[in-house]
Structure formats: C-alpha cells, structure tokens
Amino acid sequence: MRIVITGGCGFLGRRVAMKLLAEGSALGPVDELVLFDNALPALPLPEDKRVRVVTGDIADRATVAQLIAPGTDAVFHLAAIVSGQAEADPDLGYRVNLDGTRAVLDACRALGSQPRLIFASSLAVYGGALPPEVGEETALMPQSSYGTQKAIGELLVNDYSRKGFVDGRALRLPTVVVRPGLPNRAASTFASSMIREPLTGRDAVCPVTPETVMALASPRRIVAGLVHALGLPGEAFGATRVMQLPGFSVSVGDMAAAMRRAGGEAAHARLRWQPDAQIQAIVGSWPRALAAPRAEALGFGRDRDIDEVVQAFIEDDMALQKTLVA
C-alpha cells in the first residue's frame, strides 16, 4: 500500500513512518511511504527503499495533488503551524492549518477511492469554562487561532467522510511529552523542555506555576494511537469521525519532581521558574483532565504516569537528544 505523511519529516511524522516501516500496517504491507514536509529532515530517517521524501508547500494545491496521487491508500495529515506561531502570525496559521487541510482533503477526494485519512487535532479546540473532565461531548470554544483552525479541520474531516469523499478520522491529541529536538513556538513547548533540557545537561525555564495541571501523553502512546486509527474500520467511529485520545493528568510541579527523580539534584537545579502571563493564560485554558471512553473501548491506550513518560524519553530519545545539542 502507498501511504503519504504530511509533516512527515517532523517529530510525530518521522515516528509514525518508522513504526510503519518496522511493523507494517493493519491494512497490509507498506510498499511506498511518502514523507512530505517544507524542509528536509533534521533527524535521521531509516535507509529504506520504500521511503521517498518530498519537500514543498502544503497549501499549494498543485503540489498536494501530485503528492496524493492515484494509488494512495492512506494519508496521515500531521503538517501544521504550531500554536504560538499561529497566534503570532494568523495569516500563516490559516494558510497552513486551514488552506493546507483543504488542499489535502480535496486531493484525497479527487482520487475517487475514499482513502483513509488520519488528521491530527488538538486539545486547543476546547476552551472557556470547562468541566472537570473534558471529552467529545464538551462544546468547542477555542481560545486561539490554532485551536480554531484545528476545530474547522475536524468539521471538514467529518463532512468529507459523511459525503464519502474520504474515510477520515480526526484525533484530538493530548499535549505530547517528551518531544526530542529544540524548543519551538508552541505554547506547550516548555512541557518537554523542562524535562528534556535538564536531563541532557542544559538549563530550562518553566513559564507556568507548579500548580498548573495538564493532560499529557507520551510520544509512544500518540504514535501507537495514530497507527492504530489507520487500521480501524470507519464504521467503528459511529456518528462522528472525531475522537478524543486518552491522556493522563499531572501538575507541572509533579513533572519537575519526576525529572528530579530521574536526573537527580544536578538536573533539577537547571530548571528555573519564570512566570509568563501570556503562556499561563493559554495553558490555563486547556483541559486539565480528559474523558475518552470511546477511544479506550476501541483499543487506544494511555500512559500510566509521568515517571513512565520520563523513562520512555530516556530509553527512546535521550542519546539522540545529546547528539543534537552537543
């Protein structure tokens, strides 16, 4: 089968690609894996003749139509401008996160074969006065341009699936921790930096209070969930193709404590608390706890706790992270 991953050279896209190459797909063996991004990969990719890297503009319809060519069986649409950047530059955010999503959906529709489409959405679609646990029944009230763009994308995936243009599934991802690499302009970037940097010998700043509570998931869980969604039949999703993935709740203070348990006092001393009102407001508008019974019933798992997440980073990414910052 032929699979296209937009944002394929990014953090999640690269991991999804590596998992598919190593384990295959529930729909059959992977014959061709096309990784599309706006730049060449910063992290190494496996040497595999099935992999093809393409660079270009996700909002350029001609480029995307050539990318999602006849014979494409599935598309993971992971390309996006992150939250802080989309807020600072709304025109760029709407171009990439909305126009790019429309280009992907219409290229899939033009195939006439109803390819499977996995769209990465976000907890940023929620906002306002939230209940103690947030789930698919919670009204959407995004408090950022990024959240608005993701909410529109969800509605489009649902409508294109209803009309039979694609076999879509839009997954609301919890904040993913710990991401390897360098800090980006996402409002949530500190959640990885405050663990990643101290454990690899670098200083980090946390811009929110220790009492701030977040809903998280590890890269292992998110990548497993994205690939798992590909193998599920469309009818398993029922009336809506939008699904909240499971996550676990943890305070930022407990995140710092887990980093301390893993790295000791020397690592903990590298973390500084420096409040930022704007970031605190954005993060404070996000859900503190998630309800995902439908996803759990369909086999999507959750991490046990923050210590398991930190240990996964140490096992999977710490050696690579040290080479990136050396």
Is 126 annotated in the active site? no
CA distances from 46 to 108, 223, 312, 321 (A): 27, 17, 21, 17
Residue identified by tokens 């190459």 is 21
Cα 155 to Cα 158: distance, rounded to the nearest angstrom:
5
CA 34 from centroid of its chain's CA atoms: 18
Structure tokens at 196: 């990643």
Catalytic residue, chosen from 94, 126, 146, 160, is 146
Structure tokens at 17: 């690609």
Q: Is the dihedral of CA 295, 301, 306, 309 positive or negative?
A: negative
Burial class (CB in 10 A: 0-12, 13-18, 19+), 164: exposed
Cα 33 to Cα 51: distance, rounded to the nearest angstrom:
5
Mind telling me the catalytic residues?
146
